[in-house]
A and B are shown apart, each in its own frame.
Chain A
């Protein structure tokens, strides 16, 4: 496999469920990101990890919990979500923490629907 792979591609969950989104990058990058993409809104940065260390938490509610066990894997644990959390969640990686100097490589996203 190449690039950035996200699973599952689609997820439907109730507000009381607990689920996780998984991201894996095969590019040898050291930085990984979670973005939220909602209709008619800018891409919202949620979390940044650099060499497995969280370097940015963009005021994300605690019902979203990231985990980065190594530089190639990133998880987003979800619990007690709200319907307004329904969105496309995009994982990205880059060589270097700053996506500005290093190109961001995105996965295809996990489409989340919260009922």
Chain B
């Protein structure tokens, strides 16, 4: 119940295309869903986050879509660029003093 299942494990997208990464969870008590981006040799960094009271959040080319009934959320990267090539992690947390639970990560490669 504490797991967050992320797919796909790896993704190759053409430059200018849309990258889509999906995550699913079981615990309906989760109330915070961030996405972290990690470049090689660096630590993960917060990219965008959403709470279940909204179905979508957009920041520039990055959009989180949240489906509460399906217990799924996804990251969409519009107009994908080679500079977006990185590993992306979804995560979730419960209310109160509980740390984040991370997915296994998706390695995105954007090719020209």
Contact = CB atoms under 8 A, between A and B. Distances in A.
Interface in A9-58: 33, 40-43, 45, 48, 50, 55-56
A100 B29 CA distance: 13
B9 A107 contact: no
Contact of A33 (B9, B32, B45, B99): B99
Contacts of B101: 42
Nearest to A107: B43
B107 to A, nearest CB: 10
Nearest to A41: B104
Contact of A4 (B4, B43, B92, B102): B43
B18 interface: no
Interface string B1-29: 00010000100000000000000000000
- Interface range on chain A (Cβ under 8 Å from partner): 20 to 34
Contact of A40 (B42, B44, B92, B104): B104
A76 interface: no
B96 interface: yes
Contact of A108 (B9, B42, B102): B42
Contact of A43 (B92, B97, B102): B102
Contacts of A100: 31-32, 34, 92-94, 98-100
A106 B43 contact: yes
Contacts of A45: 99-100
A42 B43 contact: no
Interface stretch (A66-74, A78-86, A90-98): A90-98
Given A40-B104, A100-B100, 17 more contacts: A33-B99, A42-B89, A42-B101, A42-B102, A42-B105, A43-B44, A43-B89, A90-B43, A98-B96, A98-B98, A98-B99, A99-B93, A99-B99, A104-B100, A105-B45, A107-B43, A109-B42
